[in-house]
Structure 1
Amino acid sequence: MPNQVSMGAMMTCSFGAAPAPLVVLPKNKVLCEGPPAANIMDHVPIVNITPFGVCTSIANPAVASATAAAMGVLTPMPCIPATSAPWVTGAPTVLIANMPALDNVSKCMCNWGGVIGFSSSGTVKTMIP
C-alpha cells in the first residue's frame, strides 16, 4: 500500500544529480504524523519542488547551450525544476483540500523530460488505500 507524502519527503529526478526535499506549505490545513500533508497540486517549482543539484537533460536549454559550447561534451547545468502539471495520479479516494492526496508512488514530469518520484515519503505509518 502506498504511503501518504508529507513535508520533507525526499524526491529524485531521473536527470538530477542529488535528491531534494518536498516542501509542503500548511495551506491545506492537514497534518500527517506531524508535518503538513501533500496533495497533487503541490508541484510548484522552487516553492514545492526544490532543485536536484545539476541537470543532465539535453532538452534543458541551459544544458544544451553549455554542451554545444563544449563541442558536444555533455555539460550539466544547475537544476531549475520546470513542473507545469500536477503529480500523477495521487489517491483519488482520499481528498486533502478538495484534491487527491499525494502518495509515494505518484510521479511528476519536468518539462525537460525528467521524471520526479519519491525515495522516501516523509511518513511511515499513514497508508492510503
Structure 2
Amino acid sequence: MGQLVCNGAMLKCSFGLAPGTLLVLPASQVMTAVPDANIMDNKPIVNIAPFGMCTSLANPLVAAATAAALGVLVPMPCIPMTAAPWAPGSPTVLLGNMPALNNASKLICTAGGVIEICMPGQTTVAVP
C-alpha cells in the first residue's frame, strides 16, 4: 500500500539536476496536516517546481544551447512541461472528486522526463 502525497513532497525528474517540490493548493479542501494531493495537481510552476537544470535534448532550450556548442550537451534551466495528470493515482480514494495521489504515481514531462515522488510529504496515511 502506498503513501498519500501532500504539499511539500519531494520530487525527482529523470532529466533534472536537482530535486523539486510538489506544491498543493487547498482546492480539494482535504488535509492531513497540510493539503493532500490528487492526480490533477500537475500544473507546471503552480504545482511542480523546477528541477534546477534540464539535460533533455527534447527540451528546446537544451537543444538550441547544445547545437550552439557544436554538440556538447549544455544543461539549461528547467521549466516543467506537464500536460497529462499523474498516473495511476489511487483506485479507491478520491480527493476533490479525483483519485488521490500516492507515492507510486508518475508524471510525464513533454521534454521527455519522468517525474517521480521521492518523499510523499508525510508517512502516516496510506492509500492503495
Give the structure 2 partner of residue 25 of structure 1: 25
Q: Deviations over 1:2-30 (max 9, x none)?
A: 00000000000000000011000011100
Runs of 4+ aligned residues of structure 1 deviating over 4 Å after TM superposition are none
Give the TM-score taking structure 2 as reference length: 0.99
1:6 aligns with 2:2: no
Deviation at 1:123, TM superposition (A): 1.0
Q: Distance in 2 between matches of 1:27 and 1:128?
A: 20
Give the structure 2 partner of residue 56 of structure 1: 55
* Partner SS for 1:116: strand
Task: Give the alignment of 1:1-129 within 5 angstroms.
Answer: 1-32=1-32, 34-129=33-128
Q: Which runs of 5+ in 2 are unaligned?
A: none
Deviation at 1:92, TM superposition (A): 1.8
Q: Percent identity?
A: 59
Give the TM-score taking structure 1 as reference length: 0.98
* Equivalenced residues, count: 128
Deviation at 1:85, TM superposition (A): 0.3
C-alpha RMSD over aligned residues: 0.5
Q: Which runs of 5+ in 1 are unaligned?
A: none
* Partner SS for 2:27: helix
Q: Distance in 2 between matches of 1:111 and 1:30?
A: 29
* Partner SS for 2:3: coil
